Structure 1
């Protein structure tokens, strides 16, 4: 069989996607409804609700650089089962969180296991994607995250109108446990390691935490996630400033469908022609969307911006992640994944802070123009620091 026609939609690949989908439905649904629970049921403040979100992400960012080392030391399968076990247990622990202190502790510990689990699922699914279909396969894998972005908040906000937070959390935890069961039916193999890797020296070597071949690409992801933070963190208040708040949800729907619309096509283009044929137009479309957003005054412009941003970011992000994995040796894919996500998460964290400061000092328009310019700069960064320096 021709390698390019090797089957992609195998049972193992589908189980990996389903497990990842349930993981991110839980994450994004909790992100949406947890502040409601803190404010209405626990008598917390907006600051405390924000702290619950921050603690989760802080734990994930702190642990992320160590995830590759954990995968190398314990193996892919054992790390998957262990992290999935604790993530599932702490998903159930929300049912016991009857006070704010306990809830914040659960959030922090849950963030640790989320960081490890969301890292190890990448080298797992990578085992079941044919070599000549990496772009297409990883595109579908990232699409399972995008579906979680859409279905999680939709499920949470729809159910919270009729059911209690604890009932919804029980349902979400059951989905996570269902995905956990899938893990036992995935035939995971441990990647072979060169002898020099098996007999490594000091514990505190930089290579134990960072895959240097993935760093230039991960820095590109950091530039993009910095700009993407302006959408994640500020699109709702921006919509309110333009009297478009009732349509903020519609923005995310259009954004999500735009992200997913070209995914099957861009994956095939990546595999057949190369990453540059996807990444260049994607970065330009992303920057165009940000420039449009900086100038909009009407609903039409708001939704057109959502289309460009969704097409650009939705095409660029999975291709850049695939490129980071392909440049790393097979036994270092876990390290490449943790390197990629560490810098990606840092871009989100730094972007949320800096964009907020720009908005406070200048305006939303100024902030989105700056993010659009940064996205254009990332085009040149890709050309001269990534494409011009292929891995050896």
Structure 2
């Protein structure tokens, strides 16, 4: 519930703030994308540290701190009347989101048995998908009278609920012992204590202090997916207005998320029992096809069909990527693994929002969605080279269904 309300806030503002920039600040498509991009830049910068902080100081502690700043940023929008101050608050808001989302995701993974990580993280991320359907529709509803105070009041209440549920989180006792105190004790005792590898000397100053290397390959694939996906939340309402199908916007996100939720139980079990390739390859093709269908849409029916196809594909991909990032990383580096995954995913989303807006400003939304449909196909080569082929080389004979 904590994660749900946080992501609900994210999707409300990701949909409404580009319209705020366009209608109230008279910005163009690039500036509409910047309202999202600056938020993500703040998140990306803190992602470099958020995973390490979660591993070192504790999941719940960092989640509470992140959510407090998250709520404070929502309240600060009331006083951000100029574009410069607005972007500064967006930047800080993105930083708080990075810390809070890394901490809550890591807390969730700590509660799930290792043998059911795919299924458990699938259910956890399902609430993000539910926020994905409610958020854009609620954002459009709150902005229908173009009153920013109504929008911000609703967002502040939702952010407060997110903080409330964060305070109610109860981690397993065994996980609580792995947080700040145990890390400090382990470092003081030396690298051989507790059987947990601890870097010392110059090695701790390297990039691996902030990034979990084993989570990078699958996170790069997530980067490409997010780059393409950014074209939906930021520009969907403008595209449907262009094709004179404004009313279908909310229904698109409903259909998109319903497909994600409907297939989530099956997808989680497939990940835990079989190869992740059975999810990735069909999922990426469906997502790409859905984008191409969107680029050719002239009617509400075609927009909704694209939502069905994309929803199934996206629903198979996101929990698969996040569970893989955790599965491939050491248990004591789960926070860093989550931080690494979200770092690249958010970076893809932020850069995508800007460049998709640039494409739309120089051509039109149809070209933008066509490009967004071709980009995911690039991830096939990245996935095969960095993960599939590597996993096949290191597979242990006789592992049965789980052998790669």
What do residues 173-227 of structure 1 show as CA deviations (whole Å, max 9, x unaligned)? 2333333233333233243667535563345311112111011101111121222
The equivalent position to 2:129 in structure 1, one of 141, 146, 154, is: 146
Aligned-partner Cα distance in 2 for 1:370–1:171: 34
Aligned-partner Cα distance in 2 for 1:141–1:276: 21
Q: Any gaps of 5 or more consecutive residues in structure 1?
A: 1-17
> How much does 1:167 deviate?
5.1
User: Is 2:205 the partner of 1:222?
Assistant: no
Aligned-partner Cα distance in 2 for 1:299–1:187: 45
Contact 2:67-2:162 at 8 Å conserved across structures: no
Specify the SS of the correspondent of 2:111. coil
Contact 2:33-2:357 at 8 Å conserved across structures: no
> How much does 1:366 deviate?
4.7
Counterparts of 1:373-388 in structure 2, within 5 Å, are 373-388=374-389
Aligned-partner Cα distance in 1 for 2:52–2:303: 43
Give me the TM-score of the superposition, normalised by structure 1: 0.83
Q: Note the aligned Cα RMSD (angstroms).
A: 3.0
Q: Any gaps of 5 or more consecutive residues in structure 2?
A: 192-196, 396-404
Counterparts of 1:143-222 in structure 2, within 5 Å, are 143-160=126-143, 165-166=148-149, 169-188=152-171, 189-191=176-178, 195-196=190-191, 197-198=197-198, 200-202=200-202, 204-222=205-223
> How much does 1:36 deviate?
6.5
Aligned-partner Cα distance in 1 for 2:274–2:143: 46
Q: Which moved more, 1:151-160 or 1:297-306?
A: 151-160
Count of aligned positions: 373
Aligned-partner Cα distance in 1 for 2:323–2:317: 10
> How much does 1:113 deviate?
1.0
The equivalent position to 2:5 in structure 1, one of 22, 44, 51, is: 22
Aligned-partner Cα distance in 2 for 1:345–1:20: 16
> How much does 1:55 deviate?
3.0
Contact 2:73-2:89 at 8 Å conserved across structures: yes
Question: Would the alpha carbon gap of residues 163 and 248 (structure 1) be closer, same or farther in structure 2, given more than 3 Å must change?
Answer: closer
Q: Which moved more, 1:277-286 or 1:196-205?
A: 196-205
Aligned-partner Cα distance in 1 for 2:34–2:353: 15
